[in-house]
Chain A
Amino acid sequence: MSAISVQNLSKSFRIKKQTPGFSGTLKSFFKPDWQDVTALDNISFSIERGERVAFIGPNGAGKSTTIKILSGILNPSQGEVNVAGLTPWEERQRLSYEIGTVFGQRSQLWYHLPARDSFTLLASAYGLDKDTYASRLSQLTDAFDIADLLDKPVRQMSLGQRMRCEVVASFLHKPAILFLDEPTVGLDVSAKSVIRDLVYETSIEDGTTILLTSHDTGDMERVCDRVILIDEGQIVIDAPVSKLRSSYISRKIITLHMSVSDISFEMQGVEIAEKAPHKMVLNVDTSQQNVSTVIEKALSLASMRDISIEDPPMEDVLRSIYKNGQG
């Protein structure tokens, strides 16, 4: 049986349209003009137990609406959904024991209290007995390396430290399914990497099914095996990450911070995207050129103060998908 099964799911919202100006305000007060907006349009997919799936798409694509329906917060307009054998909006409290959530821009920790107090609170909310809670906390404390943070007030933690505690809070009751919504938003490169690795390792160990939404292709590549790409409420692509990477993410962005003010750089498969004194941004087509070869050549031309390698933004990936006629 699938961990998550979604069939012909649709959700539309009714929003009030208002024309600008005083007359528009008056008209809207006496005779409001309503408009139906479709957030999800007849989508179907299923996720097996233990599978790690990235749910990606541009802003307003319907990602968060889907997660909110799957976690029982929103009712759909039509369709059937089964999460851990339950209908989310009808059995929200029972479902809550089976799911965990990490929303990158929200916190479930008490701001002025040590993280341990929030963990104790959540353990009692999820009905964990003392021994189970103690062993689970000790296991997660080791895995996430938060022993030094347990008794530190959350307000004194860095964002990276706080996110590690947030993820621990979500894993505490050992959920069968974990929803991650932008879990690395706002984090620096090393903190992102730590969170991704920890989520990946813990989900393997616990057999947790992961559904992750993110604008960061790195989250998707490092944590998930499969990608569902959604746009304007419809599924555009449902494929393994490896296929998406080889088909669409064939570019890397290399930023060079040079000690000299300018260098002349020419190489097949490399475009200069931006040039400024002491700085050059290169757009590398990895199907034609290896990233390490590009860096070697840059180092042979001048010494570097800093080099960074990034994936192209999700918008570029989407553009690439549309250009290839899949949209």
Chain B
Amino acid sequence: MVRDNPQKMKSDYLKKLYVLYVFAKTSFDDHMGHRLRLFFRFVMCVFFMFVFIEFWRLIARENFIDLPFPVDDVCWYACLTQMMLFLSPRLFISIDQDVRSGDISYLLIRPISYIAMRVSEGIGAMSANALLYYTAGIACVGFYIGGLPSTGWVGLGTALFFLYLGSILHLMYQAISGITALWLQQAEAFYRIYQKILIVLGGLYMPIPLYPDWLYTLSKFTPVYVMMYGPAQFVLGWDNGESSAEILGLLLFWFAVTIFLLGWFYRACVSRLEVNGG
């Protein structure tokens, strides 16, 4: 059996990574070109963040629950989880549209994996969003709350770093939802189920330590834990939080599982492909 030269394989691998980077960069440029869309989406995000800040302030003021964290920290937490939802582009819709319109026939015959290309484009668009949200968004939240979280710049910076990685993982699950369209002819149904899981078990509305124990434990065994709660908990000033190393370890574990799942599911769905149109 003839084997590829390891040196050549390494160089091919690097070339593919470079091509994916070029796709991400092109998508970043394209996303920055949609200034109005970028702006309105940002305004909506800031609006929801302010609503959640008021919501948690009301809960604290009226003593509805005994909060184990400072109320301002919970406000920061709620804003970061909200931000995570707005950071990622709606990748599953792009894939769904490719399948419905038949454009996928164009994209499948390129010398690069369709799904890797779409995820790279998603990362590019997400980075354009992050540029705005991590600067103007954080400034708006800080101004409205009236200061930094009790964990300071270190806690906030760590949270934002892991939120970015968690959002890449979220893009991969969007891609999994999107490619169900190759099989079911629509991605919406699958994505809605995933999104509900993300919102509830990821801890969008409240930090998951406030959940009943069984739900908290269940959340810890899902990838959504490291997408939302895991990164955002770095702004909660308490001693029982996960360390950076623990979150990084969990993220790497879920990246490995998700990449495997995505590749397998993609190959299975493409083999059933019936291209629409023409």
> Which A residues are within 8 Å of any B CB, using their own CB?
13, 64, 68, 71-75, 92-93, 95-97, 99, 101, 103, 105-106, 108, 110-113, 117-118, 120-121, 124-127, 153, 181-182
Cβ contact within 8 Å between A73 and B109: yes
B residues 21-59 in Cβ contact with A at 8 Å: 22-23, 26, 29-30, 33-34
Q: How far is the CB of A169 from chain B (nearest CB, A)?
A: 10
Task: Tell me which of B19, B33, B103, B275 contacts A112 (CB under 8 A).
Answer: B33
A182 surroundings in chain B (CB, below 8 A): 278
Task: Tell me which of A95, A105, A153 contacts B109 (CB under 8 A).
Answer: A95
Q: How far is the CA of A108 from the CA of B103 in the complex (A)?
A: 9
- Per CB-CB distance, the 10 closest pairs between chain A and chain B, nearest first, are A64-B278, A112-B33, A96-B111, A124-B22, A71-B109, A121-B26, A96-B109, A73-B105, A106-B106, A112-B30
Q: How far is the CA of A120 from the CA of B109 in the complex (A)?
A: 18
Interface size on B, residues (CB 8 A): 26
A181-B278 in contact given A117-B26, A121-B26 (Cβ < 8 Å) = yes
Q: How far is the CA of A75 from the CA of B101 in the complex (A)?
A: 20
B242 at interface, CB cutoff 8 A:
no
A121 surroundings in chain B (CB, below 8 A): 22-23, 26
Cβ contact within 8 Å between A125 and B26: no
B3 at interface, CB cutoff 8 A:
no
> Which B residues are within 8 Å of any A CB, using their own CB?
15, 18-19, 22-23, 26, 29-30, 33-34, 101-103, 105-106, 108-112, 271, 273-275, 277-278
Cβ contact within 8 Å between A96 and B271: no
Q: How far is the CB of A56 from chain B (nearest CB, A)?
A: 14
Q: How far is the CA of A13 from the CA of B108 in the complex (A)?
A: 20
A97 surroundings in chain B (CB, below 8 A): 111
Cβ contact within 8 Å between B30 and A106: no
Q: 12 new A-B pairs (CB below 8 Å) besides A72-B109, A125-B112, A127-B111? A: A13-B274, A64-B277, A73-B273, A74-B275, A92-B109, A95-B109, A105-B278, A112-B30, A112-B34, A121-B26, A125-B22, A125-B111
